A and B are shown apart, each in its own frame.
Chain A
């Protein structure tokens, strides 16, 4: 079984401030981990992924995430928030290969000018 828990369904940050979105995972096998982003009225798109290579993963738009096995975490960060980062972010886990991807409930990021 696999699952992810996203802490905080809503996060507000000021423009220019650090963005930190938290995700913890549970998996019976080495996981593949993902962050997807959904902008208003758009489909989900892949932001970044971890597939057992480097533990620090860089994605699009300046986001990155670090896989920490000891903490079963895969938190998403960005040093400086932009207004355009306002969206809903979903952490997800897969057992690899063709296995289905299981999503968290999402975190809605608000960026305050």
Chain B
């Protein structure tokens, strides 16, 4: 299977600890997105990479959050000093740069669920 892979699938941590999530996109996709989804809400945009460049960050992404995509392949999302409000499903998606015909066609992973106690 060559879909988007995320790990860990579920992380339980205590408030104040740091956590890191990893996303492996579809290999030929140069665009990678992070979204956050809480219960009863749709996915909220966090950040977006084209290759290794981080092109856009949401105001939702406080300074405790950092995302990287060092070689333009996999990406990591780190949350420092976690708070209970960080509990959510963190979704990764990738897409290809193929003009208007492919615009918005995101391929999502199954997500990483974070529970902060």
A45 touches B108 (CB 8 A): yes
Size of B's binding interface in residues, CB under 8 A: 29
B110 at interface, CB cutoff 8 A? yes
**Cβ–Cβ contact A43 & B110, under 8 A:** yes
Residues of A within 8 A of B41 (CB): 105-106
Q: Are B105 and A49 in contact (CB under 8 A)?
A: yes
Q: A32-B104, A45-B108, A96-B103 are in contact. Are A90 and B42 (CB under 8 A)?
A: yes
How far is A19 from B101 in the complex, measured between Cα atoms in Å? 27
Identity of the chain A residue whose Cβ is nearest the Cβ of B47 in the assembled complex: A100
Whether B105 contacts A43 by the Cβ 8 Å rule is no
B111 interface contact, C-beta 8 A: yes
A-B contact count (CB 8 A): 72
A interface, size bucket: 20 to 34
Q: Which of B42, B97, B110 has the most chain A CB within a 10 Å cutoff?
A: B42
Q: Are B111 and A43 in contact (CB under 8 A)?
A: yes
Chain A residue nearest to B30 (CB atoms) is: A98
- State in angstroms the CA–CA spacing of A76 and B43 once bound together: 19
For the complex, is A110 an interface residue (Cβ under 8 Å from B)? no
Structural contact, B104 and A44, CB atoms closer than 8 A: no
11 new A-B contacts at CB < 8 Å, known A51-B101, A100-B45: A45-B108, A51-B104, A52-B100, A90-B43, A96-B100, A96-B104, A100-B56, A101-B33, A101-B106, A105-B40, A105-B42
Closest 8 CB pairs of A and B: A103-B42, A43-B108, A94-B104, A44-B108, A43-B110, A103-B43, A100-B45, A105-B42
25 CB-based A-B contacts, threshold 8 Å: A32-B103, A34-B105, A41-B110, A43-B4, A43-B91, A43-B109, A43-B110, A44-B43, A44-B93, A44-B106, A45-B107, A45-B108, A51-B100, A51-B103, A51-B104, A52-B100, A97-B100, A98-B97, A99-B104, A100-B33, A101-B45, A103-B42, A103-B43, A105-B42, A106-B42
* B residues at A contact (CB < 8 Å): 3-4, 31, 33, 35, 40-45, 48, 50, 55-56, 91, 93, 97, 100-101, 103-111
